[in-house]
Amino acid sequence: MVRTPLTPRERQRGERFGALLRQARGERSMVDVAAAAGVSAETLRKIETGRAPTPAFFTVAALAAALDISLDELASACADDPAQDGPAALSA
């Protein structure tokens, strides 16, 4: 399977998601959070640094549970800002 390249917007959304996870993790170690979520520390590292900007839904859900963040909070914090695109994008 060949993946299509991510758009700049998708990469930025992944970076916002990673930053949110880093902030929510606070003083907890990456290893502890990854173990609580059932993912590898390397997976969490890739997500937090934006190298894995589109993690699987179940990975996102597990990380949200481990960090006590609702999926709604994650979605709204990482959603694209329509204002970035101007009025033309809103009517599309």
Amino acid 39: pLDDT: 97
For the record, the structure tokens of 35 come out as 């173990």
Q: Band of the pLDDT at 56, cuts 50, 70, 90?
A: very high
For the record, the structure tokens of 68 come out as 């006590």
Most confident of 6-10, 69-73, 75-79: 69-73
1-49 pLDDT per residue, tens = 787 888 898 889 899 999 999 999 999 999 999 999 999 999 999 999 9
For the record, the structure tokens of 84 come out as 């970035």
Amino acid 85: pLDDT: 44
81: left (phi over 0), alpha (psi -120 to 50) or beta: beta
Kindly give, in sequence order, each residue whose CB lies less than 8 Å from that of residue 34, ignoring residues fewer than 6 positions away.
Answer: 40, 41, 43, 44
- Whole-angstrom distance, CA of residue 85 vs CA of residue 6: 17
Res 90 pLDDT > 50: no
